[in-house]
Structure 1
Amino acid sequence: MNNFFSKFLIYFALLWMYLPASGQQLRTEIKAILDESDGLVGVGVVDFETNESIYFNAQERFPMQSVFKFPLALAVLQRVDAGEWSLDMPIEVTPADLLPNTWSPIRERYPNGNITLTLAEIIRYTVAQSDNNGCDILFRLLDGPIEVNKAVAQMTSKGIAIVADEAGMAKGWDVQFGNYSTPVAMMDLFQKFWAGRILSPASTEYLKKVLFETNTCEACMKGLLPKGAQVAHKTGRSATNAKGITAATNDAGVLLLPNGKAVGLVIFVSNSKASDSARERLIARISKAVWDQYSQLK
């Protein structure tokens, strides 16, 4: 057993030892859900107030799919904070920007292109509606995945890699696995963002609002939560290959509870043969368990 792995096991043993009884109960409940699952599942839960955490497969590399649009938005907004751009900056969207055969609410609304959208509008389409064409417009503004990867590397410790945009991922099944994140790294990114340690106060509040507006995969993290539950999150989903394997069904973000607590939640489901509804239900059950547990606390 190598030294790094030994330290990792000791860390999580100590984490379990000092986890409050309520946290141990939640960990047991999540493990029971995972025992029923198909594929590899990564989970991260962090109380942003106390920093108490629960992780499963914390250091595994999971394909992010559209969850990578969250760090992409962070990189764009850093340029806004630097004064290079503004949210009301006009961006020309040409027919060549609106690729067919990809998810794109922008294209659905403006099928002929030749329009002008503000940077704020493109960010909202990209994050809240997961628009793939909007995503790649933002990548081009930032000079491509290499530059975005460099920016993200400055935001969090190693554990996130971005090597391809949406058009790049569409070129082959294996490409998506190069855009990976560990549960720990994505949680770290959300926690720093939520605390205002990455963006200015204005940009932080703007992106929080956009994340609260996310309307993709309503059956995932929000699927079993009370009506009107406040969830600031980003989803991501891959296609299913000829062998019936879905590479990624993901949801990551922050649950804002009625008692005022903010709880980070990252759920990555990879290489699963389960149905769409089963994978969504898995995410929803974990989210409900976390919501119920932390809603009881003061």
Structure 2
Amino acid sequence: MKLLGLAGLILTGTVSAQPARIPVRALANNVTPAERELDTRVRELGRAFDGEVGIAVRDVDTGFAASWHGDRFYPQQSVSKFWVALTALQRADAGRLDLDERVTVTRADLTLFHQPIAGRIGANGYTTTLGDLMFRALTQSDNTCNDIVLRHAGGPAAVREMLERNRLEGIRFGPGERLLQAGIAGLRWQPAFSHGNAFFTARDAVPAERRRAAFEHYVADPVDGATPNGIANGLARLQRGELLSPASTRRLLAIMSQTHTGPNRLRGGLEAGWTISHKTGTGQVYDGEQAGYNDIGILHAPDGHNYALAVMIGRTGTPLATRMALMQDVVRAAIAYHDAVAAEGGDR
């Protein structure tokens, strides 16, 4: 599939006073024991996992980063909702989008797969605000809510422009949920797929050879792909206030801290006093293998320190418990690193 260009353009001001960027520091000769241990542990976790996985852990404040296959592209699936929210909030900061605008969701807006808002749509639709739809898209991973926010924020082209303008490299954005999921299944999107079991019935009728080819093509070169290092960089820049106004930064992090999906993924590795703002992503399964099982987020330490994490499982048939254990172990590795730095007398 086509690689969406992410050529660097000069960042234009949705944020009035940006702090200086902190460069990434990968493992080098002058690393501390804590940094070396984190790097070793991340590599061990990635190497031991039975499947295609990429991992990135980045210390937001110092820039130190450890990764496993951190520059490979993996399917994002619903992780991409994070970039939609970022685009919408940047436009709101610039006065180009009103998140308090009231919109009416109708059955014509329905997409597919997870869309809990469908249960709220009555004969006259369901009226709420764009901000509420963004909240539902992030915390419930509601595909229909996300699609409406995406539309109001300018569509896929606007998200790609946001990524380019902010120099968020290693991130692709796909064609939208309907076209993306239909393509993975070897189908052409039809509006009827949004209702009942129509999509599943059509998918089951796709010849095995065609469906296998579509699945393999997507996994090999995901149109919505992202690199773990690229995601960790975007998360770190959000946390440092480089991408949004202070109010919008707080708003997005607060929403992501209330995510309901994936409670046993990254969130399952938290220790007392630690919190996380995160977004999950889950792809289709074909012949026992899943294309995309992810969680990304910002891990918040009790002392205010922050870590950007991305665990992207591109393809695997391992049990869900094994995948969740990997994600929890990545969180534990970051916490162990934090504690080791403190024990070394590191500057917090």
Instruction: Give the corresponding residue for 2:269.
Output: 224
**How far is 1:15 from its partner?**
2.5
Instruction: Give the corresponding residue for 2:251.
Output: 206
Deviations 1:223-263 (A, max 9, x none): 13225631011111112112x21111111111001122111
Instruction: Give the corresponding residue for 1:194.
Output: 239
SS in 1 for 2:269: coil
Distance verdict in 2 for CA 1:291–1:58, change over 3 Å: same
Instruction: Give the corresponding residue for 1:165.
Output: 176
1:18 counterpart = 2:30? yes
SS in 2 for 1:158: coil
Q: In structure 1, what residue type is equivalent to 2:285?
A: T
Instruction: Give the corresponding residue for 1:241.
Output: 286
Give the gaps of 5 or more residues in structure 1: 1-11
- Whose Rg is larger? 2
Instruction: Give the corresponding residue for 2:200.
Output: none
Deviations 1:186-209 (A, max 9, x none): 112111111111111111111111
Q: Is the deviation greater in 277-286 or in 118-127? A: 277-286
1:1-298 correspondence to structure 2 within 5 Å: 15-99=27-111, 101-110=112-121, 114-173=125-184, 174=214, 177-226=222-271, 229-242=274-287, 244-296=288-340, 297=342, 298=348
d(CA) in 2 for partners of 1:247, 1:216: 18
d(CA) in 1 for partners of 2:134, 2:26: 41
- In 1, are the aligned partners of 2:42 and 2:68 still within 8 Å (CA)? no
Q: In structure 1, what residue type is equivalent to 2:90?
A: Q
Distance verdict in 2 for CA 1:219–1:14, change over 3 Å: closer
Q: Is the deviation greater in 115-124 or in 223-232? A: 223-232
**How far is 1:294 from its partner?**
1.0
Give the gaps of 5 or more residues in structure 2: 1-23, 185-213, 343-347
Q: In structure 1, what residue type is equivalent to 2:87?
A: A
d(CA) in 1 for partners of 2:317, 2:122: 35
The TM-score with structure 2 as length reference comes to 0.77
- In 1, are the aligned partners of 2:46 and 2:68 still within 8 Å (CA)? no
SS in 2 for 1:267: strand
SS in 1 for 2:132: helix
d(CA) in 2 for partners of 1:204, 1:150: 20
**How far is 1:135 from its partner?**
1.0
d(CA) in 2 for partners of 1:275, 1:112: 41
- In 2, are the aligned partners of 1:211 and 1:233 still within 8 Å (CA)? yes
**How far is 1:142 from its partner?**
2.8
- In 1, are the aligned partners of 2:27 and 2:39 still within 8 Å (CA)? no
d(CA) in 1 for partners of 2:268, 2:42: 16
SS in 2 for 1:198: coil
In the alignment of these two chains, the number of paired residues is 285
What do you get for the CA RMSD once the two structures are aligned? 2.0
Q: In structure 1, what residue type is equivalent to 2:290?
A: T
The TM-score with structure 1 as length reference comes to 0.89
d(CA) in 2 for partners of 1:58, 1:220: 19
Identity of matched residues, %: 29
d(CA) in 1 for partners of 2:267, 2:248: 25
Deviations 1:168-224 (A, max 9, x none): 122022457100111121112111111111111111111111011111111100113
Distance verdict in 2 for CA 1:295–1:129, change over 3 Å: farther
Distance verdict in 2 for CA 1:259–1:275, change over 3 Å: same
d(CA) in 2 for partners of 1:49, 1:228: 19
- In 1, are the aligned partners of 2:76 and 2:226 still within 8 Å (CA)? yes
d(CA) in 2 for partners of 1:35, 1:45: 15
Deviations 1:12-67 (A, max 9, x none): 99723232111111222222222221112111111111111112112101111111
d(CA) in 1 for partners of 2:313, 2:258: 23
